[in-house]
């Protein structure tokens, strides 16, 4: 499995706009970033170039598309957080999260369904 390139916070906000509108002409993306992020055109073009160099986006014939999905970026961030702050322990992360967040009954039920589904799928292997 290839490693997902790091996407920093301001780049992630840019990617949210891209994911919503792709494929998109770079000039249109510049306008959206100006409206939604308050960026100057040079900032947007710099971010496109930086992310393109890292393999996150592609800019071909002024059409910008993502090479990495939002889910892949989120998963990479979570993995980094788990490694850095919780020594890779998912139970330690969940215990800390649950202790400091209000979790609804619906959310607990949804997480339990995910765990049950994961157990079934792991059992099928």
* pLDDT, position 92: 93
Measured N-to-C along each axis, helices 9-21 and 70-86 cross at an angle, to the nearest 10 degrees, of 160
Bridge partners of 66, per DSSP, are 57
The span from the CA of 80 to the CA of 74, in Å, is 10
Q: Is the pLDDT of residue 2 over 80?
A: no
* pLDDT, position 1: 56
* Mean pLDDT for all residues in the chain: 94
Cβ 73 vs Cβ 6: under 8 Å? no
């Amino acid at each position: 499995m290839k490693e997902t390139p790091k996407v920093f916070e301001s780049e992630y906000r840019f990617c949210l706009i891209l994911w919503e509108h792709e494929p998109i002409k770079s000039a249109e993306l510049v306008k959206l970033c100006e409206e939604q992020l308050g960026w100057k055109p040079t900032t947007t073009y710099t971010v496109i170039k930086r992310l393109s160099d890292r393999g996150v986006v592609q800019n071909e014939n002024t059409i910008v598309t993502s090479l990495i999905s939002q889910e892949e970026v989120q998963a990479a961030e979570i993995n980094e957080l788990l490694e850095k702050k919780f020594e890779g322990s998912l139970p330690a992360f969940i215990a800390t999260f649950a202790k400091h967040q209000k979790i609804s009954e619906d959310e607990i039920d949804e997480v339990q369904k995910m765990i049950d589904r994961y157990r079934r799928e792991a059992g099928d292997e």
